[in-house]
């Protein structure tokens, strides 16, 4: 007899949800230019849908802060401002700290080993200075810890804020010094996770986020200055 396995029920996703999932990457990748108008008509054509489900998706994305709706003027891709970064990173820090604490309580050996492997891969990317790969693996590590925390609400909240920050293409930043420091922080993250030292892991994740915040703000400031010379 077939087990009632936790395999996800075949939920035929609704069109608007599908669109939310498709639009998010377009926004965080920058394919939809930050600050520009969301090309409603074009997107309808591109995805072969009418305006109704697309506009439903835009409302949801707006509530996530990825776009901004101006009444009677349409939807605009939001851009990452310094003040937004100053706001979001502390919140993300608190949430990631919590995720670390919870993860230490329920992470399995297999999951720890998975993080260990990811960590090794990330170091490799660091050594070959492959920034794209580094960031991709980095994200996977944070996500693995998040999932080990076994708290869907936490996962969702973190994910949403994280998405907003990913719009900042701060990947480009990463000075050699900051990169080295980040790797050191990750060594500690791995260590405390293996030790299941929730307290220290939380603290490290918090500090890690704070460093990231500083780094991102610096980059954004550098971006702004040239265009405001007076």
Partner DNA sequence: TGATCTAATTTTGAATTCAAAATTATGTCA
Partner DNA sequence: TGACATAATTTTGAATTCAAAATTAGATCA
Give the CA radius of gyration of the chain: 20
Work out whether 61 is an interface residue with DNA (CB under 7 A).
Answer: no
Work out whether 14 is an interface residue with DNA (CB under 7 A).
Answer: yes
Phi, psi of 69 (to 5 degrees): -100, 125
# binding residues, its own copies (CB under 8 A):
32
Residues 56-95, buried b or exposed e (16+ Cβ, 10 A)? bbbebbbebebbebeeeeebbbbebebebbeebbeebbeb
The CB-of-56 to DNA minimum distance in angstroms stands at 7
Work out whether 110 is an interface residue with DNA (CB under 7 A).
Answer: no
- Residues 158-217 close enough to bind its own copies by CB under 8 A: 161
Work out whether 68 is an interface residue with DNA (CB under 7 A).
Answer: no
The CB-of-78 to DNA minimum distance in angstroms stands at 15
Binding-site partner at residue 130 among its own copies, DNA, none, CB < 5 to 8 Å by type = none
Among 26, 34, 37, 157, binds DNA (CB under 7 A): 37
Comparison of 134 and 192: residue with beta carbon closer to its own copies? 192
Residues 6+ apart with CB under 8 A from 4: none
Residues 167 and 49: their CA atoms lie apart, in Å, by 25
Tell me, residue by residue from 37 to 66, as one string, x for binding to its own copies by CB under 8 A and - for no binding. Answer: ---------------x--xxx-xx--xx--
Residues 189 and 169: their CA atoms lie apart, in Å, by 24
Residues 6+ apart with CB under 8 A from 32: 23, 26, 38, 39, 77
Indicate left, alpha or beta for 208 from its phi (over 0: left) and psi (-120 to 50: alpha): alpha
Among 73, 109, 152, 177, binds DNA (CB under 7 A): 73
Among 26, 49, 136, 154, binds its own copies (CB under 8 A): 154
Among 26, 60, 62, 69, binds DNA (CB under 7 A): 69
* Six-digit token string for 103: 């993860």
- Which residues contact its own copies (rule: CB under 8 A)? 11-14, 16, 52, 55-57, 59-60, 63-64, 69, 71-72, 84, 87-88, 90-91, 94-95, 97-98, 102, 151-154, 157, 161
């Amino acid at each position: 007899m077939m087990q009632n396995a936790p395999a996800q029920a075949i939920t035929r996703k609704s069109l608007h949800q599908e669109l939310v999932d498709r639009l998010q990457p377009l926004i965080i990748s920058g394919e939809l230019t930050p600050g520009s108008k969301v090309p409603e008509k074009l997107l309808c054509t591109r995805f072969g849908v009418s305006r109704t489900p697309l506009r439903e998706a835009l409302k949801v994305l707006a509530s996530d802060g990825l776009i901004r709706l101006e009444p009677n003027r349409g939807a605009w891709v939001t851009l990452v401002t310094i003040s937004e970064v100053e706001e979001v990173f502390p919140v993300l820090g608190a949430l990631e700290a919590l995720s670390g604490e919870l993860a230490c309580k329920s992470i399995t050996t297999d999951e720890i080993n998975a993080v260990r492997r990811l960590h090794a891969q990330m170091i490799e990317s660091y050594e070959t200075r492959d920034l794209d790969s580094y960031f991709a693996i980095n994200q996977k590590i944070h996500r693995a810890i998040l999932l080990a925390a076994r708290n869907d609400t936490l996962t969702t909240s973190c994910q949403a804020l994280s998405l907003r920050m990913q719009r900042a293409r701060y990947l480009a930043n990463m000075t050699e010094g900051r990169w080295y420091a980040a790797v050191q922080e990750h060594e500690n993250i791995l260590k405390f996770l293996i030790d299941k030292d929730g307290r220290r892991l939380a603290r490290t994740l918090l500090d890690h986020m704070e460093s990231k915040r500083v780094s991102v703000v610096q980059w954004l400031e550098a971006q702004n200055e040239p265009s405001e010379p007076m």
